[in-house]
Amino acid sequence: ELTAYVEKELNIPGGVVFAEGYEDWQTRLRLARILTRNFQKYDKAIELFEGAVGSKPLNVEQFEDIVWALRDLFVCIYYHEKDFAKALKYIDQAITMMELDPDKKFTFFIRGELWCWRWNALKELGNLELALQEAQLKMQYPYRTGSNSYRYYAYYFIASLAYFDGEYEVATETLQQALQYYPVGENAAQLNTILSDTASDNKAKYEQLLQIVRQEAVWDI
């Protein structure tokens, strides 16, 4: 029924969504992602995600797909069920799998972002102290050259706490520290323009910076 609904609403030829068959866990993930991103049918998507993330990956691509699915499942539960303990279980599983290969570059998720999601869940569960301890540790993550998502998201997490507490100057300064480890690329001039703008207040600067750094970027780690 869900497949027929998606095919009709998106005008997709029949059989495309589940071309590999209904028993293929990666096609169930495909349908789950369509349901969340196109139709906001989170309950059905969560059911599909949960039925797929326990599958055994047979290659590197499938391994990454499961970690990506665990991250998507976390986000659905975090925002739409608001069951932070349940969500934490899935992001912890994703982190454990991700860290099995500390040098691999992934395509569909960012290492530091997964840790940042964990810290947000810990905060919601009243364990902000542990989240801050872990973020402080990630600020020391080995850094040579290039971008470092562990360090960036550790500083970003601290900055976000300051922002939501109304401490906009601290938030902007901390986010500026985070940018040392962000893959700035073609955005360098735009970021510098925002930071040097004396007419904007710190709250506006913080929000403008986030609009840029939330775009897709290619990380070294």
The pLDDT tens digits of the residues spanning 68-79 come to 999 999 999 999
Most confident of 19-23, 34-38, 99-103, 157-161: 157-161
* Each residue's pLDDT tens digit, 92-103: 999 999 999 988
Amino acid letter, residue 175: L
117 contacts 95 by C-beta, under 8 angstroms:
no
pLDDT of residue 198: 86
Given a cut of 90, whether residue 132 has pLDDT beyond it is: yes
**C-alpha–C-alpha distance, residues 42 and 81, integer Å:** 9
- Cβ count near 140 (within 10 Å): 10
* Secondary structure letter of residue 11 according to DSSP: T
**End-to-end CA, the chain:** 41
Confidence at 23, pLDDT banded by 50, 70, 90: confident
**C-alpha–C-alpha distance, residues 71 and 84, integer Å:** 13
pLDDT of residue 103: 86
Measured CA to CA in angstroms, residue 163 lies from 91, 128, 160, 171, 173 at distances of 24, 15, 5, 5, 11
Given a cut of 80, whether residue 20 has pLDDT beyond it is: no
**C-alpha–C-alpha distance, residues 8 and 89, integer Å:** 35
Q: What is the mean pLDDT of residues 182-205?
A: 92
Given a cut of 90, whether residue 146 has pLDDT beyond it is: no
Tokens of 124: 């919601």
Flag whether the pTM goes above 0.85. Answer: yes
